[in-house]
Structure 1
Amino acid sequence: MTWIKEHKLIFTSILVCVICLGFLGVIVVDMIDQKAVSSSPVASKEDSTSKSKNNQKSESTASETITDNPFGSNSSSLTEDDVLNYMHGMSHQKVEAEEKWLHYEMTNDRIQFLIGVVESDRYEKSDLYLDILNRWAEGDFSKADKDHNAIWNLQGGTIGKATGVLSTEEEKQYLEDHKGSIQ
C-alpha cells in the first residue's frame, strides 16, 4: 500500500512539474514572439506611425499637421497632380464656369490638410499652392476664379475656364445641385 502511495505522490509531483513547465514554456514563447514582432521593420513602422500620430495630435501649430486624408484616400502622401485635382475640384464650389467635372466640397479640414501636405513636400509650384490655400484658409475667396484658372492652366485646361466668383446663394445652389457627385 505504501508503494502505491509513494508512486502516486511521485506521479502527482511529476504531473505538477510538467504543467508548470508547460505554463513557463508558453510565457517564454510569448515573450520571444513579442520581441520578434516589435523588432520587425513592419511593426517598427507601425509603432512609429502611431507614436507620430499621437505626437501630431498633442502638438498645436499654426497650420494643422498632416493626418488622415480628408479626401477619402488612404494616403497622406500626394503627388502634385493629386494636389492640383483636389484644389481644382474644391474651387468649383466658388466659381462660375461652363463646365465643371471635379467636385470636392471645400472644407477647412481639407484646406488645412493640403497646406500641411504642400508645406511638407516640395512641389514645383508650392508657393502658388500655398498662396491660394492660405487665402482660402482665411476665408478669402475674392480671387477664386483667378485661383481656379491658375490651377486649370497648370493642368492644361481647355474647357471650363472660370468667368467669375459665385454669390453665396449661387454657391448654396451649386452644392445642392451636385449633392450626389460632390466628394
Structure 2
Amino acid sequence: MNIGTLGAGTVAQAIARHAVAHGHHVLLSNSRGPDSLAAVVRDLGPLASAGTPEEAASAELVVLAVGWPQIPQAVAALPAFDGRIVIDATNQFADPPSHAKAVDLGDLTGSEFVAAHLPGARVVKAFNSLYGKYIAADPRHPAGRQVLFLAGDDPDAVSTVSDLASEFGFAPVGLGSLREGGRLMQLGGPLSGLHVLKQD
C-alpha cells in the first residue's frame, strides 16, 4: 500500500515506521518542504520518501497528523480525495505544544470538524488517543496487544484501517461513527489517553 502523511512529527513517523517495517511505501510531507525530511527518510529506509503535501495527499491512504490550529491551512489546497481514506490522528489542542486547553467545537466532534475540511475523503479516526511513545513502540507485549480505537462512517474504510493496524500488531477496537465513536476517543473523552492491552 502507498501511504502519505500530512505532517511528519512523532505520530506520523511512528506510523510510517510500522508501515515500512511491513513492506508499505510511505511518502512523508510537512509545511517546510521535502528537504527538511531528508534525515527522517534516511532513518526510515528505502521504502520511505519525502514529498509535497499534494503528493502525500494523492496516496492510497493518507495520515493527517498536524497540529490542530494548522488543519485548515494544511488541507486547503489539496486535490479532491475522491473516496480515498484519511486517518485522522489529530486532537483539538488549542495550543499543541502546551497541551493545556481544548478547542470548543460546540456540538461537533473533532472528527466531524476534520471530515468537513476533507470533502470526498473517507475519514477514520485512529491513533489519536494514544501517546506517541505507545504508537511507536512494538504493540505486542507479553500481556497482550496494544488496543487501538477506531471510528468512522464508512465501514469499508474502517475495515481497511483496522486490517492495517492489525498487521502492525495492534488490537483494533471499532467504536462506531465519527460522531459517537469520535466523541469517546477525542480529547476529553473517556478513552482519550487510555493505554489498554487486549489479552490474546
TM norm structure 1: 0.25
Higher helix share: 1
Larger radius of gyration: 1
Higher relative contact order (CA 8 A, sep 6+): 1
Q: Larger % of strand: which?
A: 2
TM-score by length of 2: 0.23
